[in-house]
A and B are shown apart, each in its own frame.
Chain A
Amino acid sequence: MSLIAFAGRRLAQAIPVLLIITVAAFSVIHLVPGDPARVMLGSRATDEAVQVLREQLGLDKPLVTQYLDFLKAAVRLDFGDSLFQRTAIGPIVAARAVHSLALVAYAVLISLVIAVPLALLSAIRRNLLADHVVRMLTTLAFCMPSFWTALLLVLLFSIRLKFFPTSGLGDSPLAYLASLTLPAVSIGLYLTPILLRSLRASLIQTLGAEFVEAARARGFGEARILFKHVLRNSLIAMLTILGINVGFLISGAVIVENVFSIPGLGSLMVAAIVQRDYPVIVALTLVFGVVVVAANFLVDLSYALLNPRIRQ
């Protein structure tokens, strides 16, 4: 099967999942006990205001019609207005999604740059000094709570050395990248040990495989064996873990977003839940669902690239 056909089939398989996600997101508003419009506006709202909102949200229509309207609107990224920000949700979510995606992509890049070479070193020098040092340092990094790591990074690199701004987002592309660096490092430090451990374990397993012995016997250079055969065959487990974490980090980087004042999706979700801003919660439930599906799709695709047998 060609790669494109494989991608097409995987995409088709994602459709039922996406539909289930839309049903779940749609239900959020209807799982509210009592009259959703009344709950959203609070106990002090007038009856007229509640009626206006009920019509605005289409709550007076049959459930199926409401769902179909919701689907149609969701495709156009039209989620209605936020109850608290009093403006359309689509643009707010889109603007924040850009920052969240940029932040997580940057963090993934940083952790791959650190994890892959260190995992290789650790696997080759298994149970030697280098391996112990790497494992100890990564355990340490993993144990540090991210708000604390983040503050330490700010104290050192922003206050003392003045390399990066303490928080906020820069305007120019370079300033933007600079302002995302410390937050990305904070997340990267959390992600690196997870990736490193899984990659190290698979590398060790693969290094002991027969085909590696066979390659050595044929006289291939160690570098070629390591990069072309061992690494390639060991990446799959790490990519699976990466996929799961990316989905989680897009929605779950709340603490890092807060510490660095980055308007991302995670902090929007927390604010929406605290304020009972149901339309925003619905929109974000849908977006997070799509992000997880998309991340898994990309992981599947990378399996197929790394190991053509999976396409069968």
Chain B
Amino acid sequence: MTARLGGLLALAASAVLVAAPAHGEDATPRKGGTLTMARDSEPLTLNPIGAGDNGSIFMIVQVFDTLVETADAPLPQPALATGWTVSDDAKTWTFALREGVKFSNGDPLTCDDVKFSIDRFADPKVNTSYGGFGAAIAQTECASPSSFIIKLKAPQGAFLDYLSTFIPSIVPKALYEKMGDKAFSEKPVGSGPFMVKEWVRGQRLVLERNPYYWKNGQPYLDEIVVNYTPDENTRMLKVESDEAQIATEVPYAQIERVAALDHVDVQIENVMAWDAVWFNSRKAPFNDPQVIRALNYATPKEAMLKTLMHGAGDIANHVIARVKYWDPTVEAYPYDLAKAKEALAKSSSPQGFALSCLIVAGDQFELQQAQILQSEWAKIGVTMEIQAVDTGTIWTRWGSGDENCFTFTGAGLSSDALSDDNLAVVFFDFTGGIESFWTGWNNKDAIALVKEADGTIDEEKRKAAFHKLQRLAMAEYPAVPLFFIKARTAVSDKVKGFKTLPVKWWNLEDVWLAP
């Protein structure tokens, strides 16, 4: 808890800022009521396979169940599987299926449904956006109605973590085949705590209690109305006027104001999201680690955290998010202009250089952040030109490999899985598909470490590999890591049991409303 509030202690208003877990956990949950949420994004599809945006994902997890689930714990927890065993070679996993589970239409959930859903997850032709998550699966089998076996091609360290994501959600086979992809995406049926009552694109998604849900007494809420409210001021006004009881993504500048309201608190919670500036190591001088070090030392992270983010974040000591195997003992680069100048003097560009950096247009926070970097880096002779372009363009241009530098909004990058593997493949494994997040960082040791961690389920070995990787990345990777981002949610006093999980979504079956 103190760690969560660490960055906030400086704030005079910290007394009204509430950290997770949510208030009122001591009281007995009460059944009934409608929760209204004002969200910054809207779902595009409700099909677990094909979704890739938070707008969709966070709603899909309310409607579906998985074999193992993400809860407020470092490891996936039993859900539709009550337990599991793994063979000595770590290639055969046997799951005991929970008995008596029904889909929200009353049909029983059988092992056939499980096999159908996991096979879709494992098929890269079906699961096109997250093919890597299911790629290790060789074969699946229902040994009995209550025993499901998954055979892997090779041991996979993050196997359970990937099973706990939204993608291998269990769908009803017969109904899915009858409805087809498109119709099912609009009106899905799952065994999760809630079912879809109404979906008006661009406006709202209304969820209602699944009467057949297996968790005893849950969900507590009768209904959840999720309003799509893209404007941040409007979202805050919605909770202020009590038209909504929860509003997501409180703007940094409004944290104190919203937290000071009588009936609203701002919950600030750790999530697996982060912010950094990325460089293209195919281009000089960004292929020189001394140059990257110089830029890191010349970045006043503490001051930026205080002024721009009002303390709601932590200085990053890793190039990727703070995930399961994060090592707190690795040091972040301090702000030290002398060291920055020293590193630059030793580099291939001792006189400094000019660069242009892409940022997301229309985002005031990103612009201010870039302007601070611009003025600070100028002090060591690095002149930066800021190029603000729209989100679509930024990905096209950064993906082309021709740009120098790029930064993306902190809300835009986060981990989908509970362990580091997913991010490690994307950011550190040049052979992983997108050439180390298009930075072109091609480091043999890093690639070997990613593969080493992936190939074993031995927790100690995995931890050791990721710790090594973190030190290596902090020393060599072409990036200036900035902050670990925190979820900032405005929550009304009446709402109990609300908690943002590290994956950024919420298990809304735990939420209830006080009278």
Mark the stretch among A119-127, A194-202, A257-265 that contacts chain B.
Answer: A257-265
Binary contact readout A145-160 vs B (1 if CB under 8 angstroms, 0 otherwise): 0000001001100110
Q: Which of B45, B238, B392 contacts A166 (CB 8 A)?
A: B238
Pair B243/A165 contact, Cβ less than 8 Å: yes
Tally of chain A residues near chain B (CB < 8 A) = 37
Binary contact readout A70-104 vs B (1 if CB under 8 angstroms, 0 otherwise): 00000000000000111100001001100000000
Instruction: Give the residues in chain B near A85, CB-CB below 8 Å.
Output: 44-45, 201
Instruction: Give the residues in chain A near B182, CB-CB below 8 Å.
Output: 86-87
Q: A43-B434, A274-B391 are in contact. List 4 more A-B contacts (CB 8 A).
A: A166-B241, A166-B243, A168-B203, A276-B396
Is B217's CB within 8 Å of the partner chain A? no
A94 to chain B, nearest CB (A): 11
Is B390's CB within 8 Å of the partner chain A? yes
Binary contact readout B202-220 vs A (1 if CB under 8 angstroms, 0 otherwise): 1110000000000000000
- In Å, the complex CA distance between A128 and B474 comes to 73
Pair A154/B237 contact, Cβ less than 8 Å: yes
From 352 to 408 in chain B, residues with beta carbon under 8 angstroms from any chain A beta carbon are 390-392, 395-396, 399
Pair A159/B240 contact, Cβ less than 8 Å: yes
Pair A44/B434 contact, Cβ less than 8 Å: yes
Pair B390/A261 contact, Cβ less than 8 Å: no
- In Å, the complex CA distance between A77 and B330 comes to 58
Provide 5 A-B residue pairs closer than 8 Å at the C-beta atoms, listed in order of the A residue.
Answer: A84-B44, A86-B47, A86-B182, A158-B241, A258-B231
A107 to chain B, nearest CB (A): 18
Q: How many A-B residue pairs have CB under 8 A?
A: 93
Tally of chain B residues near chain A (CB < 8 A) = 34
B59 to chain A, nearest CB (A): 14
Pair B240/A167 contact, Cβ less than 8 Å: no
From known contacts A85-B45, A166-B234, infer whether A92 and B201 are also in contact, taking CB-CB under 8 Å. Answer: yes
Pair B234/A274 contact, Cβ less than 8 Å: no
From 150 to 186 in chain B, residues with beta carbon under 8 angstroms from any chain A beta carbon are 182, 185-186
From known contacts A166-B237, A259-B234, A263-B202, infer whether A86 and B434 are also in contact, taking CB-CB under 8 Å. Answer: no
Binary contact readout A37-50 vs B (1 if CB under 8 angstroms, 0 otherwise): 00100111110110
Instruction: Give the residues in chain A near B395, CB-CB below 8 Å.
Output: 42
- In Å, the complex CA distance between A267 and B182 comes to 24
Highest count of chain B CB atoms <10 Å: which of A86, A96, A155: A86
From known contacts A48-B125, A168-B203, infer whether A261 and B230 are also in contact, taking CB-CB under 8 Å. Answer: yes
Instruction: Give the residues in chain B near A92, CB-CB below 8 Å.
Output: 201-202
- In Å, the complex CA distance between A259 and B238 comes to 11
